[in-house]
């Protein structure tokens, strides 16, 4: 009878944590995440060897580091996914506060590693990119503000969140990191839309974004150079985009063979921003489609599970986390095939990078926690009862 009324079996308070976690977690999304991490290690065996050779290191130095980062990320994902929503909210607020302070300190203590954008803190043995850790916390805190604004006599959460978004976007633009700034703005827009923003206001915001992009193009040589390169119909074959495009074409449907690809020897960022080009060249379109399907599985299944959620905070935060995770993957692959201008954005769980993979682990950990099955009526049942 309980299942007929509430749509799911109640969680037994005395049930141990691990069995309850396994029973309520989205196993399809969890499996997709694990497979993505495995593909990342597989591609790292090919893409990072040339980099290690150029730096005079052991051939598998970067693969070993990625494995260590991955274990930390998976442990973080598992731990976070066991948290209740109230703990996710607290973790998001604390994480955002720490990353926000780090972002403000970047102009004074950060480094650009010769890439023209000050995005990292270097500690010698490792580096940290604060913007990667900012994203999940930002989605959570914005969702909390907008959910609170829906309460009777609630705070002006939408206005406050817009001001916070403006400050974060400006800090990212100073680096400059327009890719992460656009992703943050997109995530805020998705949460705002789901929270019930009028379409006219969305149009005004899009107009402001277009105006801001024009200003950035006129004032930032870094930004203008990337846009000009994207709009230029002629591709420089010696550029990163040129090498990546050629590798994808060479790979065809089945690829040139494991270890036979050449793009990893010419692309300096083959192990990070252009890892999909290595996948396409050596394993062909088949592996690329598998990767697309895995990201699609995580995002679509999460959104479908969130549609049944009646808690506004869980619904908004989960939607924001799912969308930025999927859109980041889309941007990375879109750049490689020249559908988008170069952004300097990693492919979650697949690209090399400690900050990237650990932050991705935290992001999907929050998402898995928010999409766990709970003893509640579905939102559709509540609406029908209200009539």
DSSP string for residues in 275-343: HHHHHHHHHHHHHHHHHHHHHHHHHHHHHHHHHT---HHHHHHHHHHHHHHHHHHHHHHHHHTTSS---
> Does 23 fall in a domain?
yes
> Does 45 fall in a domain?
yes
Q: How many domains does the chain have?
A: 1
> Does 204 fall in a domain?
yes
Token pair of 206 as six digits: 């899009």
Percent helix, percent strand, percent coil in the chain, to nearest 5: 70, 0, 30
| CA 65/CA 61 separation, integer angstroms | 6
Output the pLDDT for position 326.
95
pLDDT tens digits along 139-182? 999 999 999 988 877 788 888 998 999 999 989 888 888 888 88
Picking from 45, 41, 47, the residue whose alpha carbon sits closest to that of residue 278 is 47
Picking from 347, 343, 45, 354, the residue whose alpha carbon sits closest to that of residue 176 is 343
Output the pLDDT for position 206.
78
> Does 286 fall in a domain?
yes
Picking from 314, 276, 319, the residue whose alpha carbon sits closest to that of residue 300 is 319
Structure-model confidence comparison of residues 334 and 80, the more confident one? 80
Share of the chain above pLDDT 70, in %: 88
Given a cut of 50, whether residue 6 has pLDDT beyond it is: no
pLDDT tens digits along 260-306? 788 888 877 778 888 898 999 999 999 999 999 999 999 999 999 99
- Give me the domain span that covers residue 75: 14-386
Structure-model confidence comparison of residues 377 and 234, the more confident one? 234
Given a cut of 70, whether residue 203 has pLDDT beyond it is: yes
Token pair of 353 as six digits: 């990078």
> Does 6 fall in a domain?
no
pLDDT tens digits along 230-258? 666 666 666 777 788 888 888 888 888 88
Label residue 386 by pLDDT band (50, 70, 90): very low
Output the pLDDT for position 9.
47
> Does 294 fall in a domain?
yes
């Amino acid at each position: 009878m309980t299942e007929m009324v509430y749509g799911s079996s109640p969680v037994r308070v005395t049930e141990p944590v691990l069995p309850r976690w396994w029973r309520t977690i989205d196993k399809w999304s969890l499996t997709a995440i694990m497979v993505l991490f495995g593909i990342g290690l597989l591609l790292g065996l090919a893409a990072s060897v040339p980099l290690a050779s150029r730096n005079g290191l052991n051939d598998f130095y970067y693969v070993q580091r990625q494995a260590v980062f991955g274990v930390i990320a998976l442990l973080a994902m598992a731990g976070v996914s066991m948290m209740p929503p109230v703990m996710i909210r607290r973790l998001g607020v604390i994480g955002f506060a720490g990353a926000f302070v780090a972002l403000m300190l970047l102009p004074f203590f950060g480094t650009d590693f010769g890439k023209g954008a000050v995005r990292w803190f270097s500690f010698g043995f490792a580096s940290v990119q604060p913007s990667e850790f900012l994203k999940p916390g930002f989605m959570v805190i914005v969702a909390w503000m907008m959910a609170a604004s829906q309460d009777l006599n609630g705070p002006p959460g939408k206005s406050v969140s817009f001001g916070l978004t403006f400050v974060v976007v400006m800090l990212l633009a100073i680096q400059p990191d327009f890719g992460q700034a656009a992703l943050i703005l997109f995530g805020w827009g998705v949460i705002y839309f789901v929270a019930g923003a009028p379409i006219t206001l969305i149009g005004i915001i899009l107009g402001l974004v277009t105006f801001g992009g024009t200003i950035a193009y006129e004032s930032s040589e870094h930004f203008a150079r990337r846009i000009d390169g994207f709009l230029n119909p002629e591709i420089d074959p010696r550029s990163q985009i040129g090498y990546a495009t050629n590798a994808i074409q060479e790979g065809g449907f089945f690829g040139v063979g494991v270890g036979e690809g050449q793009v990893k020897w010419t692309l300096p960022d083959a192990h990070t921003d252009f890892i999909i080009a290595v996948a396409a060249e050596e394993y062909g379109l088949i592996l690329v489609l598998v990767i697309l399907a895995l990201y699609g599985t995580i995002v679509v299944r999460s959104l479908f599970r969130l549609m049944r959620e009646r808690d506004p905070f869980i619904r908004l935060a989960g939607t924001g986390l799912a969308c930025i995770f999927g859109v980041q993957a889309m941007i990375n692959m879109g750049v490689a095939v020249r559908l988008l201008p170069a952004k300097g954005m990693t492919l979650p769980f697949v690209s090399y990078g400690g900050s990237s993979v650990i932050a991705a682990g935290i992001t999907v950990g929050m998402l898995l926690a928010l999409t766990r099955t709970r003893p509640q009526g579905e939102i559709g049942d509540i609406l029908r009862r209200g009539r």
